[in-house]
Amino acid sequence: MPVYRPLRVSIFIYDLVRLFGMLWVLPQLMVTSLSESVLPFPLIVYAAPNVLFLLAAFFLLVRFEEYRSYAYLYMAGKAVTVAANLSWFFFSLRRLALVLDEYALEPLLVLGFLLFLACLDALSVLGMSALVIYRTGKPDADGTAAEGAGLTGTGVAGPPVSAGTEE
């Protein structure tokens, strides 16, 4: 089993749990004393694009070499998600501070959940970047890829490097 496989599995499991959290935990946190339940429609609209992260993590888990170029899109999307969640968190804190009362627990739980997801998303970006760096290797000083990395010096996938065969 390759060294990087447990990291790929953990990223996939995180994205699966994250989607579950968005579809099940978030509505539970949003139930107020004024209503018995929260309509799932707005949450599904928020969570539906996040299925793409789960699919990307799945494809990168199953065939990392073939889908390696999508790892950069995964990291970019997660970085945008982290920025959006953090900005929502900080802008909501100001409004929440103005209306602190007995019903402030629900918004605090939702904001805490989003902050927690933003931190875990940042960790998944770091994990995916570690996978990309580990699998691609860094180019040598002369611009050629590290031995066994299977890449050219440009960082674009190329034919695998064979040890001991020279042309």
* 108-111 long-range contacts, CB within 8 A, separation 24+: 109/29, 110/26, 110/29, 110/30
Contact 62, 119 (CB under 8 A): no
Tokens of 135: 């699998």
> 150, 157 in Cβ contact below 8 A?
yes
pLDDT band per the 50, 70, 90 thresholds, residue 74: very high
The proportion of the chain whose per-residue pLDDT surpasses 90, expressed as a percent, equals: 22
Backbone angles phi, psi at 157, to 5 degrees: -60, 135
Residue 57 pLDDT class (50, 70, 90 cuts):
very high
Cα gap 30→37, rounded to integer Å: 8
Q: How far apart are CA 129 and CA 72, in angstroms?
A: 8
Query: Does position 75 have pLDDT exceeding 90, yes or no?
Result: yes
**How large is the average pLDDT for residues 23-49?**
65
Return the pLDDT at 42.
66
Predicted TM-score (pTM) of this structure? 0.66
pLDDT > 60? residue 62: yes
More confident residue, 76 or 145: 76
Task: Give the span between the Cα atoms of 131 and 3, in whole angstroms.
Answer: 10
Helices (H) and strands (E) in the chain, counts: 6, 0
Q: How confident is the model at residue 33 (pLDDT cuts 50, 70, 90)?
A: very low
Distances (CA, A) of 68 to 15, 65, 98, 164: 17, 5, 46, 26
Given a cut of 70, is residue 121 above it in pLDDT?
yes
Give the torsion through C-alpha atoms of 82, 87, 90, 93, to 10 deg: -100
